[in-house]
Amino acid sequence: SKIQNSVSSNFIICHGDNIIQVDAIAQSVTDTTEKELGEKPVYKEGLENKEWILLDYIDVVVHIFLKEKREYYGIEDLWADAQIQKIASNY
């Protein structure tokens, strides 16, 4: 269902177990999106402390958390009425 008053149509929410993984995920998303789609994020935040990195691609916003920060903020609960698709980790 459509998320009322949302700034984006889609959100990707994931986490890494440490700041090295969080940084690697963010770099991979940025590199792959630019290479495959020719898109760069219009806004980036959190690259300094790497506890919660946000990559804004307008229609898609990517949230990359440090695991304990994801659990603490629980932003999935903000969109509990939205359609959620969980993707299992292969790692």
At which residue do the structure tokens 């990559």 appear?
A: 55
Residue 39 has pLDDT above 80, yes or no: yes
Model pLDDT for residues 48-89, shown as the tens digit of each residue: 999 999 999 999 999 999 999 999 999 888 877 777 777 777
pTM: 0.84
Domains detected in the chain: 10-79 (3.30.460.10)
* Ramachandran angles phi, psi of 20, nearest 5°: -65, -45
- What is residue 4's predicted lDDT score, i.e. its pLDDT? 55
- Judge whether 8 and 59 are in contact, CB under 8 Å: yes
